[in-house]
Amino acid sequence: MPLERIDHYLLQTTDLAATRDWYVKALGMREGPHPDFKFPVVWLYLGDKDVLHVSEGGRNVSENRKRYLGQESQAEQGSGVIDHVAFFGTDLKAMIERLQGMGIAFTQRRVDDQGLYQLFLKDPVNDVKVELSYASAEAKAAGIRPELTASELR
Amino acid sequence: MPITELNHYLLVAKNLERTKRFYQTVLGLRLASERPDFGFPGYWLKAGGNICVHLASQAPNRIRDQFLLKKHPKGTRGSGSVDHIAFLAKKPEAVRKRIQKHRIEMHYRSFPESKLFQIFLKDPDDVTIELNFLGETIDPAAWAGKGSASAVTLSKSRGKRTAAAREN
């Protein structure tokens, strides 16, 4: 099975601190480590797993955030603040070949300090952004290169 | 730890069948046969043995709107078509008390036949969160007034399809 599990979802909010505090207090999540994306993020954990990524949303989103992730919606309320949902998988090369074979556009990102290689694509029926995360060692072994690496942002 | 893991997201699809095909053929998810009768059409999709995507349709459906916390107009696109994000959880009494302490409105959903109890709530950005307590058969009526804004029990009526939800 190429996709093994749901991994996390990303919320964009106009109030990063209030969102973090709510998930910590009401749902018992824990703030934990995250890579340096060169834009503000908070990662929230259940046990040892980051399940919710929070970044800036609304109208005043940084250029780095837009460059790395784009911005699906400037909505400040409701499910429009969900930017994407992510899955974790194995066999990156097979997935890239499958997407290319089906003519589905995707972008590629690498996060060195997490050892992650990410594909972003759209569910074409609903325009929902989906992230597929793989171990970046798979990309290295197969000679697959991203358009953008998180560490290139300043 | 009461809330234990991320479980699934629910997408209210413009075209249920095409969306199902996308998740199956492009992402390789597998169709789960064990989806209960919620009283509205949809699919459960699995990755690695676990349900991770729940699909429903934008076609007007009263039970769906009653069950979820908002109406889904036709033509919704993008992440606005994600209805909610669901977690698995344990210790329903402790979780309810914690949420209630922060004066957050909750909605209870009970499936006695599936031994499933759910709490729905909204985060500060109005995103719907669903908490799933597996193996629990709490009667939402017993929790009436304890932070509950609505309580619905879904049960099969004489072996037929779920006709309507019973509101307590």
Asked if the ipTM is above 0.85, the reply is: no
Question: Shortest CB distance from A128 goes to which of B50, B82, B84?
Answer: B82
Q: Report residue B141 CA to chain centroid gap.
A: 19
Inter-CA distances, A102 with A139, B14, B53, Å: 20, 21, 22
Cβ distance B11 to A78 less than 8 Å, yes or no, reads no
Cβ distance B18 to A87 less than 8 Å, yes or no, reads no
Whole-structure pTM value? 0.85
- What total of structural domains would you count in chain A? 1
Superfamily of segment(s) B3-159: 2,3-Dihydroxybiphenyl 1,2-Dioxygenase, domain 1 (3.10.180.10)
The domain limits of chain B are 3-159
Chain B CB contacts of A94 under 8 Å are none
Distance from CA of A19 to the nearest CA of B (A): 7
Q: Please name every residue paired with B121 in a beta bridge, in sequence order, or none if there are none.
A: B129
CATH number at A122 reads 3.10.180.10
Query: Which chain A residue lies closest to B82 (C-alpha atoms)?
Result: A79
For the cut 90, the answer to whether the pLDDT of residue B11 exceeds it is yes
Q: What is the Cα–Cα distance from A24 to A27, expressed in whole angstroms? A: 6
Distance from CA of A76 to the nearest CA of B (A): 7
Cβ distance A26 to B104 less than 8 Å, yes or no, reads yes
The residue segments making up the domain with residue A7 are 3-152
pLDDT of chain A, 154 residues: tens digit per residue:
478 999 999 999 989 999 999 899 888 899 999 988 889 999 999 999 999 999 998 888 888 888 888 887 787 888 888 999 999 999 999 999 989 998 989 999 998 777 899 999 998 888 889 999 999 999 999 999 888 888 777 7
Inter-CA distances, B139 with A38, A92, B99, B153, Å: 48, 46, 18, 8
